[in-house]
Structure 1
Amino acid sequence: MTVTQRQAPEHEPIARVLPMLSVPHLDREFDYLVTAEQSNDAQPGVRARVRFHGRLVDAFILERRSDTDHVGKLGWLDRVVSPEPVLTADVRRLVEAVASRYAGTRPDVLRLAVPPRHAAVEKKDPPVFSPLTPIDVDPGAWATYRGGAGFLGALAEGRAARAVWQALPGEQWADRLAEAAAVVVNAGRSALAVVPDQRDVDAVHAAAVRHVDPDRVVALSAGLGPSERYRRWLAVLRGGARFVIGTRSAVFAPVADLGLVVVWDDGDDSLAEPRAPYPHAREVAMLRAHQMRCAALLGGYARTAEAQALVRSTWAHDLVATRPVVRARTARVIAIDDSAFTQERDPAARTARLPSMALDAARKALAADAPVLIQVPRRGYVPALSCGRCRAIARCRHCTGPLSLPDRDTTGAVCRWCGRHEAALRCARCGSDSVRAVVVGARRTAEEIGRAFPGVSVMTSSGDGVLATVPGSAALVVSTPGAEPVADGGYGAALLLDGWALLGRQDLRAAEDALRRWMAATALVRPQSDGGVVAVVAESAIPTVQALIRWDPVAHAESELDARSEVGLPPAAHMAAIDGTPEAAAALIDAATLPEAAEVLGPVDLPPGARRPAGEPTAGPVMRMLVRVPRDRGLDLAAALRRATGSLSARHDNEPVRVQIDPLHIG
């Protein structure tokens, strides 16, 4: 049997590829010879297979070359998986910037940016689109905001306008985003909108098809399934889509001629990627806007310190309504101290765990045939228990996870981490067998509220069953934050319970997150002129509560940014969190050539909820060390840690560590 001799093409016989390898020290390009048969398909951006250390691995071809830096014999490209150039030059630049910003590897970022291939979809003929027909955009709603009309004008002229937008209560925010995108599309360019979840994707898509040719609007999300998602992603890649909407991974979508990138509600945790290198969609979007020199818009009812930092640095400008407009659009907000519960004489108020003022507001709204929204911080029945005597948190004997009551009829308790059942509860600290609820969940609250309002329909909306909309008639809607349904005509009242559970969290962003959740609920309530009332159960003197009462998220974000600047916390500084065994974390820091201004903090215990690094053995302590640098040295810190991670990875003499730049939750 004869073996066919491989022959290289005369022109550019070498392909420089990036193998999709998981180890940091192999995040570099390698050269392979291309056969003459492969030459036409082996173009930059296509997927390929190469033999690496005796095994076949996936790779992307980055460029074709006529020469090589390799001094030995080159191997041959095994095959071209597909001639489709899925890695565009713009996305490649973005991937490299994200890897540099977050001290990660390009293969890890590429796994987030380019979805897995679906061969059957790829082989189908692409659809043929008719020429775009511009749809007129009414700028009247944007004119309500100072600078709003000017922002739309800049988009129409193709200028790189950047803004942070504070949406008014009751604002049809999805329509406003669609209008901004339509202006960009009418100008001959494309727009990209990134939102936290599927419900937001659906809302923006429904608004987009009213302002942009529906055939040119594409919605991307993980819930579509591999085939449909890849089909839509290919439509974006091939230039058919002009307005792309999606969740966090859509920020990498290969949108052609990008003119505007939008991020809605950038404070939502869903926009932070849980996989290495843990990029935040807001930061990736701003990197992309900078690289593409296009317009950018951050929008939301509340405002993060990071968004305020962009305004303070003059990279973006404010889009905020005047105070008279804000007052006219906002419901009346009253704050009620928790101590009011102990003074209540109204039996219904005690039953529902509501002060009389909140109960009266709910009764008036129901009497006017309007729905009432009741926001509780946790889902479930009783999600956390503690000892009735010493108040110690009840924890599982097997994994130390928090114990909960999943429903009313459960005997004993169930661990929220491992699911084990604890039939008999006894406090490990004092031996008492009495228990109390630390916080009450949505289902238990609905049960109590139902007894206080007999004959009134009670609905729940939470993680295990989210309602999109509810009728505009009398009803009680108990919801967890982020799952609030939209009521037809708005809610007559909203009751924000257990404020201490949000404000009292041991987290850098507790106050900011509490205000964001409260404002999202308040925005669904009718204005004060129509009788809308919001009752928040929290001490009125707390600055976060005052910001809600005044509807002033900008001042709250400014205060948050000042406070973090004083103590050197993000976004006023850049901080790297290094998680692993004390020895492994220390070895990484020793191997890194840190900037002169770097300050090493720790080791400390991992913050609550932080997972152990991948590959970490179950036994032994896992700690966190922090490295802080001034804001202008962030890239230097990331580069130093990236080099050190690669060096230690090549030596194979340390346990794995996890490196996160500016983690969402520091502790």
Structure 2
Amino acid sequence: MPTGPDDAQPELLPGLVRATLKQSQAKARATRERKAAQAETASELPVARVLVDVPLAHLDRPFDFSVPATMADDARPGVRVKVRFAGKETDGFLVERAATTEHTGTLLPLRRVVSPEPVLTPEVATLTAAVAARYAGTRSDVLRLAVPPRHATTEKAEDPAPAPVVRRDLAEAVDAWAGHTHAAAWLGHLHDGAAPRAVWNPPPGADWPHLVAQAALAAPGGVVVCVPDGKDVDRVDAALTALTGDRPEHAVLTADLGPAARYRSFLRLARGHRRIAVGTRAAAFAPVAALSLVVVWDDGDDLHAEPRAPYCHTRETLLLRAECAGAAALVGGFARTVEADHLLRTGWAHELSAPRETVRAAVTVAIAGATDFDLVRDPRARTSRLPKQVHDLLKQALPEGPVLVQNPRQGYAAALACERCRTPARCTVCTGPLRQPGPTDPPACRWCGTAAPAWACSECGHRGLRAPVLGQARTAEELGRAFPHALVRTSAREHVLAHVDARPAIVVATPGAEPVAEGGYAAVVLLDAWLLLARPDLRTVEEAVRRWANAIALVRPGGRALVVGDPALASLQALVRWDLGGFAAREAASRVEAHLPPASRLATITGEPGAIDDALVLLEAPESAEVLGPVELPEDEGRSRVVVRVPRHQGGALSQALGDLQRMRSSRKLDPVRIQVDPPSL
């Protein structure tokens, strides 16, 4: 008998060895069985074509993998998968199952199916390829925009049973659109399943979210509605909810929802529980079934331009989608872009607008010119820059309801200059421009933030300052002094108001931050029109007219608007006549003379000078292409930009050449460049 631990050790060792050996054998057998199961491919359609999530342009194509028999049921087109690629596990989308492959070697098997949920529909997969080709990008970049990240908990949660689609009476939509010429015919074709295409410019004061909701509900199938920002999404959401009640047919898709809520809305659309998608630019790829209508509102807003590669635009994405799916299209906005005008001139779309008598009755626009600005002021506000006409209009309109005052700049005093010689005030530390953040704050640099309470002019030595550019806070202060009994509210980037009630008030807002007033504004005032026209940009005038029109359109029917600017400007005269279609046509004609979009197609190539030279050597552009530049970018030191321009009919060839350039550069591992096709500005 053993008398201690040491004596028992020889008898225990063989047992431990045998147990360990059995465990090793069992583990090895399980591994062999798993590998054998993986090696056994599916009996039907054993090849999976996968778009691998790789940013390299020369690898932007589907790759073939074998489908293990254990994954045959879950590996459906549209699901997320994991594959072994370039020595590591990589994400991808399974886009097709096939019976054969052109690959001559042995196919690697799929590693696993991440989820059996098909999140990439065939229509959206086709659209991503078209968008990538149009903008000389990669499908992996487009897929990041089209399919939101997976939220496993939301995916596994039970979703409400889909409500049956109620086919609505067309008469309600026709009545809502009664103020627009040819709207009844357009809605009738849409309701019958045809694909009518229209450019729509409603009159000022029109309830455009309600009209969009009526058109969406009149469509027989899926609908995608894209608007610039969350405020507009909320308005369309509220309009659809008011019409559908407790049987909603739409889902909202915005980044502000958060991962779970956004993925829930995405799944409701993909599973067919909702047929109408409402959102910002990413909603252009919403997985609605049986697409019958696409709508883009205010297509000139720069928020529709994607800031990430491949820099696609919502309008162009939706028009591509309408072409691919044979769906109807509605391009709307109070102002008309030159691109929308091009759709009309080429016959691709027809015009939907109100008769002239309806427009004339909707609003009266007047201009307070330079003479009024210089000589006539409110005697109670000696330091005010506001013309007497502004004060008179405010006095008349305030008892009737809220009044909107659009100020082009935010803050207090956005720029400062010498009071005596008008020399711009500069920081002594970094030479940046000085500004005054508030009424009691000393001047401070806009670049480095250094305060300059003892500033003196470098030219004349004078210490007095004037403010040639005033922000909305200073304007609100002036109006508060001029109208001490009126409520004054501000809306700007740091604090944006979505709505104001119908009580009399003065609302001072920057462009794009104007709140919607209950029942509409009694009057609208546009200050410093010259300031929006001071930007050195291709679309300066067009963008200014769009921002002015959007503000004036918030007026109630029969309201008044006053613009402080030069009456000789054609852009302001277009507002007075509310002939925004004519303005867009004239702007487009001038673009044709200058060989600028939309009469031409162009692309920019940006990067370091050496990378730009390499790109120009490798680029096989069409023979008619013009190469402008390269030029150094003052705002981006060490980088240059070149512009390549071709006639519009060769735009496809230019995109193809730029795509080939990206693939060639990627395969040769050359220095990176950024390529933007049809950028919103230059």
**TM-score tier after normalising by the smaller chain length:** over 0.9
Q: Is residue 657 of structure 1 aligned with residue 673 of structure 2?
A: yes
Look up the match of 1:64: 97
Find the residue that maps to 1:215 and give its secondary structure.
Answer: coil
Equivalent in the alignment of 1:464: 494
Is residue 567 of structure 2 the alignment partner of residue 540 of structure 1? yes
Query: How far 1:200 moved relative to its partner?
Result: 0.7
Give runs of aligned pairs for residues 138-537 of structure 1, distance below 5 A: 138-184=173-219, 187=220, 189-212=221-244, 214-330=247-363, 332-348=364-380, 350-366=382-398, 368-386=399-417, 389=421, 391-392=423-424, 394=426, 403-415=434-446, 435-528=465-558, 532-537=559-564
Give the C-alpha shift of residue 659 in structure 1: 0.5
Matched, 1:642 2:667: no
Deviation at 1:162, TM superposition (A): 0.2
Cα deviation, 1:365-390, whole Å, max 9, x if unaligned, reads 12x34221110012222233456546
Aligned 1:79-90 pairs, distance under 5 A: 79-90=112-123
After TM superposition, the score normalised by the length of structure 1 is: 0.92
The answer on whether the counterparts of 2:173 and 2:215 sit within 8 Å (CA) in structure 1 is: no
Partner deviation per Cα, 1:202-246 (whole Å, 9 max, x = no partner): 111111123346432211111100001000100000111122111
SS at match of 1:143: coil
Deviations 1:496-528 (A, max 9, x none): 001111112111111111111111111122344
User: How far off is 1:67 after superposition?
Assistant: 2.9
C-alpha distance in structure 2 between counterparts of 1:516 and 1:97, whole Å: 29
The SS at the match of 2:666 is: helix
Distance in 1 of aligned mates of 2:455 and 2:125: 56
Structure 1 residues 85-112: Cα deviation after superposition (integer angstroms, max 9, x where no partner) = 1111000110000001111110000000
Instruction: State the SS of the aligned residue for 1:209.
Output: helix
User: Cα 1:337–1:75, aligned 2, differ >3 Å: closer, same or farther?
Assistant: same
Note if 1:596 corresponds to 2:620: no
Q: Distance in 2 between matches of 1:607 and 1:182?
A: 50
Supply the distance in 2 between the matched residues of 1:82 and 1:484 (Cα, whole angstroms).
44
Q: Which has the larger radius of gyration?
A: 2
Task: State whether structure 2 residue 592 is matched by structure 1 residue 575.
Answer: no
Shift of 1:334: 1.4
* Secondary structure in structure 1 of the residue aligned to 2:78: coil
- Tell me what 1:621 maps to: 638
Q: Secondary structure at the match of 1:603?
A: strand
Cα distance in 1 for residues equivalent to 2:244 and 2:633: 47
Q: Deviations over 1:286-321 (max 9, x none)?
A: 111111111100111110000000000100000111
Q: Distance in 2 between matches of 1:153 and 1:395?
A: 63
Amino acid at match of 1:335: I
Q: Percent identity?
A: 48
Q: Which amino acid aligns with 1:322?
A: P
Distance 1:646 1:339, change over 3 A: farther
Structure 1: gaps of 5 or more residues: 613-619
Find out whether 1:631 has 2:648 as its counterpart: yes
- Contact residue 135 and residue 212 of structure 1 kept, 8 A: no
Q: Distance in 2 between matches of 1:595 and 1:256?
A: 38
Equivalent residue letter for 1:646: R
Q: Unaligned 5+ residue runs, structure 2?
A: 1-23
Q: In the alignment, is the contact (CA less than 8 A) between 1:579 and 1:659 conserved in 2?
A: yes
* Aligned 8 A contact 1:579 1:606 in 2: no
* Corresponding letter in the other structure for 2:655: A
- Residue of structure 2 equivalent to 1:77: 110
Report how far residue 263 of structure 1 moved: 0.6
Matched residue, 1:27: 60
CA distance in 2, matches of 1:604, 1:426: 36
Counterpart secondary structure, 2:396:
helix
SS in structure 2 of the partner of residue 326 of structure 1: helix
Give 3-state SS (helix, strand or coil) of 1:41's partner: coil
Asked whether the 8 Å contact 1:349–1:356 carries over to 2, the reply is no
Give the CA deviation at 1:396.
9.0
Q: Could you tell me the TM-score, scaled by structure 2's length?
A: 0.90
Aligned CA RMSD, in angstroms, stands at 2.2
Cα distance in 2 for partners of 1:419, 1:589 equals 41
**Cα offsets for 1:606-634 (capped at 9, x unmatched):** 486xxx6xxxxxxx521211000011111
Per-residue deviation, 1:419:
5.8
Cα distance in 2, alignment partners of residues 430 and 106 from structure 1: 60
Match for 1:658: what amino acid?
R
What is the aligned partner in structure 2 of residue 615 from structure 1?
Answer: none
- The residue identity in structure 2 corresponding to 1:149 is A
CA displacement, residues 401-445 of structure 1 (integer Å, 9 cap, x when unaligned)? 6553332333331435x6666676577889876654342111121
**Residues 35 and 565 of structure 1, relative CA distance in 2, 3 Å threshold:** same
Is the 8 Å Cα contact of residues 529 and 565 (structure 2) preserved in structure 1?
Answer: yes
Q: Following the alignment from structure 2 to structure 1, what is the Cα–Cα distance between the partners of residues 354 and 479?
A: 36
CA distance in 1 between counterparts of 2:425 and 2:624 reads 41
